[in-house]
Amino acid sequence: MARNDDHNAEQILAAVSQPIVVLTSDLRVEKVNEAFCEVFDVAFEESEGRRFYDLGNGQWQIPELRRLLEEVVTKRQSVLDYRVEHRFERIGRKVMRINARILPPAGDGEAQRIVLAIDDITEVERQAHELEGRREFAEKLVDSVREGLLILDSDLRVKQANQSFYEQFGVTPEQTEGRMVWELGNGQWDIPELRRLLEGVLPEDDAFNDYEVEHAFEGIGRRIMLLNGRRLDHLDQIILAIRDVTERREHERRQAAFMGELQHRVKNILNNVGALANHLRRRSDNLEQFFEAFAPRLSALARAQQLLLEHPDGNVALSELVRLELDAVGAEAGRSYAASGQPVSLCPRDAQAMAMAVHELATNAGKYGALSVEGGRIDVTWQIEEAEGPQLRFVWRESGLRIDAPSGARGFGSEMLERSVPHMLGGRAELTFHPDGAECRIGFPLREE
Amino acid sequence: MERFLEGRRVLILEDNYLAALDVGQLVEDLGGEVVGPVGRLDRARALARDQRPDGAILDVKLDGRTSYPLARELLGAGVVVVFLTGYEREAIDPEFRDLPRLRKPYEAREGERVLRRAFGVGE
């Protein structure tokens, strides 16, 4: 009988995957199983009969193990779940959980034996540690991400949201956790298309990207959001990443509008240049004459554009415009001209029109007027009068000439002046020729645009 | 240039003086008579009612508004309407997107072609 029992015990020990050692009361190895030999890289022959501590080059000389065994021996009691960690020479670092049980003596007068059941929990501990590491990583990652994240369980109930989500939507965990995603805020996520994505697409495809939601959100107003959804199979959860693109879209819209305006302006300028060339061509007998009329006016157009570029929000000071055109024909402030008046801001369209008008006046002054004679002067003054809205009264008075018989109109420039002011500015321009020089009075209503 | 606008009177609404002169010159070169040019919507409307032109070349946007209402009125009265604009096709209201369009800047030949088609004159 005993032999049968022994035989069964042998078979069981051999089959078991857990390393097992049976020790005599004086800590000699009575028996080890296959698993023990395999795990701890020792041979059967080398084990049985030896002192346990001597096994495998003394690799079991572990202080903790000694403590365990001494405790068991002295107290004659089993010790369970005893953790021992050791760096073995041949097999490396191992973490073991050891159950040390007292075995009743084999027979009368025999000493009791100790059976050690050793669980190699190295890998288990390592995995648990790694898992903890991953968990910490995920938690901190979720929390550090700038986009709002919602973690939903498979019923679409909010399990968790990150800090960015709470900040983004101005809500608290109490208002969020445990709620159905459709219930959040003012029902802002209760959108048929989103339902379709979360309930229909995600189960199939496990991901969707850039789903756009535009909505008046509770508390934060009208925003445009892009949503990415991911299904987590192992945890049976859904991640919703929410990015607010409202500002970006607005910026893109403004950029596009600005580009459109710019293109429009460029086309207008090119058209003006072409129109100018066409018009002057008809009035010129030869290339020299054409160029003489064309080139300075092209420069004036360029100057006007430059002024506008320097004031991208629109308004150009009249004083700056006047000075620019007079400087361009070589007049000197304080010597050949004086320009003054209350501060007047012109909208871009009016600025361009006035720049053309003043250019014509300055050109004429240079060719036939005050700037063409020694001692000639131009006095430019302006003011705003109230008469059915603000009206600009602009006076250009040349002096220092001696004209016996005023010649009157002088071709393209003056014609442009007298016609373009009414046309573009909705006002009037009057040219008068005094004996000592020309005078031009321009009046038009100032507008905002 | 063939003077296929002979006998036709064309209203011109364009707030840029040089541009207005230019398109007016085109009309005259083609034999037409220019009504205007004017740079303001209200003046254009008044002139249209007084002078009853056969055609009108209108700047799309001016005075901060569009000339669509005027275009609608003129089209209703059987006047040929051509838009003059620097904007892309997409920027024009869908209602008027199929109207003949002179895109600034344009060459004389292109201008002639657009007006030919607008006034229903064969090539």
Assess whether the previous peptide bond of B37 is cis (omega < 30° from 0).
yes
Chain A closest-CA separation from residue B86 CA (Å): 5
Domain boundary among A194, A217, A244: A244
State mean pLDDT over A63-81.
82
State mean pLDDT over A90-104.
88
Q: Do A170 and A237 sit in the same domain of this protein? A: yes
A198 within 8 A of A213, measured Cβ to Cβ: no
pLDDT at res. A174:
92
Q: Do A261 and A296 sit in the same domain of this protein? A: no
A271:B38 CB<8 A: no
- Report yes or no on A138 lying in a domain: no
Chain B closest-CA separation from residue A262 CA (Å): 10
- Least confident range from A198-207, A399-408, B3-12, B109-118: namely A399-408
Residues of A in contact with B17 (CB under 8 A): 353, 356, 416, 419-420, 423-424
Q: Do A19 and A67 sit in the same domain of this protein? A: yes
B87:A275 CB<8 A: no
- Report yes or no on A373 lying in a domain: yes
Confidence of residue A89 (pLDDT cuts 50, 70, 90): confident
Reply yes or no on domain B9-118 having CATH 3.40.50.2300: yes
Domain boundary among A216, A244, A272: A244
Q: Do A397 and A313 sit in the same domain of this protein? A: yes
Integer Cα distance of A279 and A276 in angstroms: 5
Residues of A in contact with B28 (CB under 8 A): none
Q: Do A291 and A435 sit in the same domain of this protein? A: yes
CATH code of the domain in which A103 resides = 3.30.450.20
pLDDT at res. A43:
85
Domain ranges of chain B: 9-118
B39:A449 CB<8 A: no
Is a pLDDT exceeding 70 seen at residue B114? yes
Residues of B in contact with A419 (CB under 8 A): 17
A264:B87 CB<8 A: yes
Give residue-wise pLDDT tens across range A304-353.
888 888 887 778 999 999 999 999 988 888 889 999 999 999 988 889 89
Residues of A in contact with B36 (CB under 8 A): none
Residues of B in contact with A282 (CB under 8 A): 25
What ipTM, to 2 d.p.? Answer: 0.83
What is the residue type of A430? E
- Report yes or no on A231 lying in a domain: yes
For chain A, the straight-line distance linking the first and the last C-alpha, in angstroms and rounded, comes to 114
Burial of A203 (0-12, 13-18, 19+ CB in 10 A): exposed
- Report yes or no on A129 lying in a domain: no
- Report yes or no on A19 lying in a domain: yes
State mean pLDDT over A79-100.
88
Q: Do A150 and A67 sit in the same domain of this protein? A: no
Confidence of residue A252 (pLDDT cuts 50, 70, 90): very high
pLDDT at res. B32:
95
Share of chain A above pLDDT 90, in %: 40
A423:B15 CB<8 A: yes
Confidence of residue A241 (pLDDT cuts 50, 70, 90): very high
Chain B closest-CA separation from residue A419 CA (Å): 8
- Report yes or no on A48 lying in a domain: yes
Q: Do A34 and A72 sit in the same domain of this protein? A: yes
Rounded to 5 degrees, φ, ψ at A20 are: -130, 135
Integer Cα distance of A439 and A395 in angstroms: 7
Q: Residues of chain A whose C-beta is under 8 A from some C-beta in B?
A: 260, 263-265, 267-268, 270-276, 278-279, 282, 349, 353, 356, 416, 419-420, 423-424, 426, 449
- Report yes or no on A137 lying in a domain: no
In angstroms and rounded to an integer, the radius of gyration of the C-alpha atoms of chain A is 49
* Interface residue of A273, A359, A423 to substitute, partner B, most B CBs within 10 Å: A423
Residues of B in contact with A353 (CB under 8 A): 17
Report which of residues B28 and A418 the model is more confident about: B28
Is a pLDDT exceeding 80 seen at residue B1? no
Is a pLDDT exceeding 70 seen at residue B11? yes
Give residue-wise pLDDT tens across range A373-413.
888 999 999 999 998 889 999 999 999 988 765 555 556 67
Nearest CB among A270, A279, A349 relative to B105 is that of A270
- Report yes or no on A131 lying in a domain: no
Burial of B123 (0-12, 13-18, 19+ CB in 10 A): exposed
Share of chain A above pLDDT 70, in %: 96
Each as own residue / partner, the long-range contacts of residues A226-235 (CB below 8 Å, 24 or more positions apart, any chain) are A227/A194, A227/A197, A229/A197, A229/A198, A229/A201, A229/A202, A230/A206, A231/A202, A231/A203, A231/A206, A231/A207, A233/A206
How many structural domains is chain A composed of? 4
By C-alpha distance, the chain A residue nearest B17 is A420
Q: Do A299 and A233 sit in the same domain of this protein? A: no
Is a pLDDT exceeding 60 seen at residue A184? yes
Is a pLDDT exceeding 70 seen at residue A2? no
Mean pLDDT of chain A: 87
3-state per-residue secondary structure call for chain A: CHHHHHHHHHHHHHHCCCCEEEECCCCEEEEECHHHHHHHCCCHHHHCCCEHHHHHHHCCCCHHHHHHHHHHHHHCCCEEEEEEEEEECCCEEEEEEEEEEEECCCCCCCCCEEEEEEEECHHHHHHHHHHHHHHHHHHHHHHHCCCEEEEEECCCEEEEECHHHHHHHCCCHHHHCCCEHHHCCCCCCCCHHHHHHHHHHHHHHCEEEEEEEEEEECCCEEEEEEEEEEEECCCCEEEEEEEECHHHHHHHHHHHHHHHHHHHHHHHHHHHHHHHHHHHHHHCCCHHHHHHHHHHHHHHHHHHHHHHHHCCCCCEEHHHHHHHHHHHCCCCECCCEEEEECCCEECHHHHHHHHHHHHHHHHHHHHCCHHHCCCCEEEEEEEEEECCCEEEEEEEEEECCCCCCCCCCCCHHHHHHHHHHHHHHCCEEEEEEECCEEEEEEEEECCCC
Q: Do A302 and A405 sit in the same domain of this protein? A: yes
Chain A closest-CA separation from residue B76 CA (Å): 27
Give residue A102's domain range. 2-122
For chain B, the straight-line distance linking the first and the last C-alpha, in angstroms and rounded, comes to 12
A267:B91 CB<8 A: no
Q: Do A177 and A308 sit in the same domain of this protein? A: no
Q: Which residue has the tokens 């496990």?
A: A206
Chain A closest-CA separation from residue B72 CA (Å): 24
By C-alpha distance, the chain B residue nearest A257 is B91
pLDDT at res. B123:
60
Q: Do A279 and A304 sit in the same domain of this protein? A: no
A272:B16 CB<8 A: yes
Assess whether the previous peptide bond of B105 is cis (omega < 30° from 0).
yes
Q: How many residues does chain A have?
A: 449
Chain B closest-CA separation from residue A253 CA (Å): 14
Share of chain B above pLDDT 90, in %: 65
Q: Do A231 and A304 sit in the same domain of this protein? A: no
Residues of A in contact with B87 (CB under 8 A): 260, 264
pLDDT at res. A406:
56
Integer Cα distance of A66 and A53 in angstroms: 9
- Least confident range from A5-19, A98-112, A167-181: namely A98-112
Tokens of A447: 């507008």
Give residue-wise pLDDT tens across range A129-159.
999 999 999 989 999 999 999 999 988 999 9
pLDDT at res. A404:
63
By C-alpha distance, the chain B residue nearest A275 is B22
Report which of residues A155 and A76 the model is more confident about: A155
Give the global pTM: 0.62
